[in-house]
Amino acid sequence: MSARTLPLLFLNLGGEMLYILDQRLRAQSIPGEKARKDEWTDVDRKRVMNDIITTMFNKKFMEELFKPQELYSKKALRTVYDRLAHASIMRLNQASMDKLYDLMTMAFKYQVLLCPRPKDILLVTFNHLDAIKDFVHDSPGILNQVDETFRQLIETYSCLSAGEFQLIRQTLLIFFQDMHIRVSIFLKDKVQNSNGRFVLPISGPVPWGTEVPGLIRMFNRNGDEVKRTEFTTDGNYVSPQREGSFDLYGDRVLKLGTNMYSVSRPVETHMSGSSKNLASHAKENIAPNPLAKEELNFLARLLGGLEMKKPGGSETGFRLNLFTTDEEEEHAALTRPEELSYKVINIEATQEPGRRAELSRILGELEVAEPRPASSGKGEDLLALMDGL
């Protein structure tokens, strides 16, 4: 397992979340002069996007995120996105939040599978951040936050070897390996089978720095080429024209990680019903784990950097529905296997000492897929956090 995977996982899933929310908010927006008090406008959309991106790229939050550490469990990470999605006036019911998280995870899983080489996961991340910068192009303060994270990525990952990127890719694939949720946009494009597994292409550009297959060269002990043999392949391979840019600005070449919900193509965020047998693959250990707090030492510090915005005064939170109708949303909530649903847990850190026991109790309710080693030395961090509450 790579200790450098978490920032890439978080930023790419966050980018997919912003793509989906932007598309749904645009679809449900009403012109400002015609909108009722309880209807979305484009001003509301921009406010929601700005609030979420501001929270997501909080400086202390990013500093914590970039510290070498193992991945969180699926449930712990999901809790972070619940909190992040509600960092503005927007409110999501659990069924819509479930659907949002499913779309996020399956999109990034597909991108990881299709990366020509492990290092290209960094280009996928840059594509997400490039798009996020477009969302806040007219807000210099937020734009600067995103650029600072961009620089952290370049500084942290530009010096890693190919082997370290391969370990990052394997860590991501292990995280996603039991997720086989069918998504209509992938089924329509025939890149996903009815069982939820992706179809990987056998044609197209080969990874940068490699040659098109079809030639075997043999060398003698002196390193001189003595024979060539050609063979035919089933795929139609081509050499890439150039390598994508790993700089702050530039042409990434790779299109993975760009917004597939953009206006340039028909948009549909409807997700097909999950298979019943999916539950057997996606179950996590539901028995209370005695080492749960060890897993959540990281989560407690991470959530400490997030502020959940609450509507003030007479202002009410706007509800966003990721389904076509309210009836669809209610049906999805009733039919979704219990193993695939997650509770929204709101953790509020206050200055009251009496809140420490409550926070500890809430954190203890989260189950852990795989316990962290007790020797991680993070127990003191949680105690320090508690003492500061």
**Residues 180-215: pLDDT tens digits?**
999 888 998 899 999 999 998 888 888 888 888 889
Rounded (to 5) percent helix, strand, coil in the chain: 50, 5, 45
Q: Render pLDDT for 322-352 as a digit per residue (tens, 0 to 9).
A: 656 666 656 666 666 655 555 443 434 334 4
Domain boundaries of the chain, sorted by first residue: 5-200+245-270+292-309+317-350
Predicted local confidence at residue 150, as pLDDT? 95
Per-residue tokens: 5: 């995977």
For the record, the structure tokens of 324 come out as: 């076509």
Cα angle value 65/67/68 (rounded, 5°): 115
pLDDT, average across residues 147-168: 94
Q: How confident is the model at residue 272 (pLDDT cuts 50, 70, 90)?
A: very low
pLDDT band with cut points at 50, 70 and 90 for residue 90: confident
Per-residue pLDDT of 208-245, as tens digits, reads 888 888 899 999 999 999 999 999 888 888 888 888 89
**pLDDT value for 211:** 87
Burial class (CB in 10 A: 0-12, 13-18, 19+), 5: buried
Please report the pLDDT score of residue 355 as a whole number.
37
Q: What is the pLDDT of residue 205?
A: 86
How far apart are the C-alpha atoms of 128 and 107, rounded to whole Å? Answer: 12
Is residue 106's pLDDT more than 90?
Answer: yes
Structural tokens at position 117: 């080489």
Any residues with CB less than 8 A from the CB of 231 and at least 6 apart, and which? 214, 215, 216
Query: Cα–Cα distances in Å, from 330 out to 57, 199, 271, 321, 327?
Result: 33, 31, 14, 11, 5
Instruction: Provide the pLDDT for residue 373.
Output: 37
Better-predicted residue by pLDDT, 259 or 304: 259
- Quote the percentage of the chain above a pLDDT of 70: 65
Task: Give the mean pLDDT of the chain.
Answer: 75
Determine the Cα–Cα distance for residues 87 and 285; give it in Å rounded to an integer. Answer: 29
**Mean pLDDT, residues 249-254 taken together:** 90
Structural element, H or E, at residue 74: helix 74-85
Answer with the residue of higher pLDDT: 350 or 299: 299
* The pLDDT of residue 177 is above 60: yes
- Confidence band (pLDDT; 50, 70, 90) for 317? low
